[in-house]
Amino acid sequence: MSGYSMSGTTLKVIKPSSKSDRSFNLIYLYFILLLNTLHISFLCAQETGSQEAVKVGVYVSPPFVMEEEDGFTGMSIELWEALAEKLGLTFTYERASTFSELVEGTADGRFDVAVTNLTVTQNRARKLDFTQPWYDAGLRIMVDREHTSGWTDVVRGLSDAGHLRTYAWLAFLVIFAAILLTLFDRKFDKNFPRAFREGFAENFYHIMSLATSGKAQRKNLFGWKGRIFSGLWLVCGVGLLAYITSSLTSVMTTQSLTNRINGIGDLPGKRIGVFMGSESEKYTLNRGFSARAYQGIEDAIHALKRKEIDAIIGDAPVLEYYQHTRSEEPFEVVGPLFKPDKYGFGFIKDSELTTPLTIELLGAHERGFIEKLRNKYFGQIR
């Protein structure tokens, strides 16, 4: 009797001897083919299911990572998605609120990869694996170009220069002179007000009028001697007014010059805003600057507007992009680039993704893809 026999994946056909045998053999063949099809489908599904989605941690830092209603975008996001597509990776995004959270979350396994403008440093390399750096950057300074000295700054400047103490002595002398003149007039001028407070107010007004305008309002009770005394008092008044004017002018000029920030050398003594867990925060701490940490650039800008800080130190591309896209706001990036660094993608230690993604990154460099992204987001601003 003829039939079919299976040996591995080889199907041997035995010539049938009757019509009923042929029908049986066809049914048997269809059954075997169906089992093979189901087995192959199961293996494919098993292989597909074994590839878990990559957990991508992101930190919002325009223009590298920006959050929109339908997800995330930006230079880092576009680069990551292009590399992931090359490797056939599926992934999900999760937002970190600070650089520190992103780094620590990746080191602890909460994220498989850290995507943002993440600076490659020695300390971070002890915790994470990094790809080939893909962007050259550094730090710069942002200031409010409309910032002016307030009265509190002027008063502080007068105090530091010792002028406030001099003002206090001058005020004491003016009040003392007004009291002496009041006592003198009450004795020698019959028409002078008898009430002490009215007489004091009258003489105080005469002294200030003489000091500020040079006009004497008093009666001359002693002839030429009184004229000489009035002239001497006029000279003193002019000198007093000149001193007050010059001291205020010098302090305000000094405040204007010292409050102007043009570079890193102007930062000592200033209040500086930085981003939590960023290299700018570590830099200010190492330099001994007075710094306040904020979660992102929007919070730092808000503090700069309210004059809670005098300047912001941050990644140059981030500050430059903000100035470029918010040109109507009174903020500008000043001074040259300092503390140059490089950005890379970070991975959990010993990740299998590090090498293939680095290879794809090198390819993206060679194809000019990263340069196209840079031109898309920065144009000619760098």
Model pLDDT for residues 230-254, shown as the tens digit of each residue: 667 667 777 777 777 887 777 666 6
Which span out of 26-30, 123-127, 204-208 was modeled with the highest average pLDDT?
123-127
DSSP states along 295-328: SSHHHHHHHHHTTS-SEEEEEHHHHHHHHHH-TT
Whole-angstrom distance, CA of residue 351 vs CA of residue 348: 6
Whole-angstrom distance, CA of residue 139 vs CA of residue 311: 13
Whole-angstrom distance, CA of residue 300 vs CA of residue 313: 10
- Position 41 scores a pLDDT of 45
Whole-angstrom distance, CA of residue 331 vs CA of residue 303: 12
- Position 50 scores a pLDDT of 47
**Strand pairing of 113-115 and 346-348?**
antiparallel
- Position 98 scores a pLDDT of 93
Please check whether residue 245 is in contact with residue 252, taking contact to mean a CB–CB distance below 8 angstroms. Answer: no
- Position 3 scores a pLDDT of 46
Segment 149-168 shows an average pLDDT of 73
Find the angle CA(29)-CA(34)-CA(35) to the nearest 5 degrees.
100
Segment 161-185 shows an average pLDDT of 82
Find the angle CA(230)-CA(234)-CA(236) to the nearest 5 degrees.
120
- Position 135 scores a pLDDT of 95
By mean pLDDT, which of 17-26, 156-165, 234-243, 291-300 is the weakest? 17-26
Segment 311-318 shows an average pLDDT of 95
Segment 290-309 shows an average pLDDT of 93
- Cα→Cα distances 125→13, 133, 262, 348, Å: 63, 12, 33, 10
Q: How confident is the model at residue 6 (pLDDT cuts 50, 70, 90)?
A: very low
3-class secondary structure, 283: helix
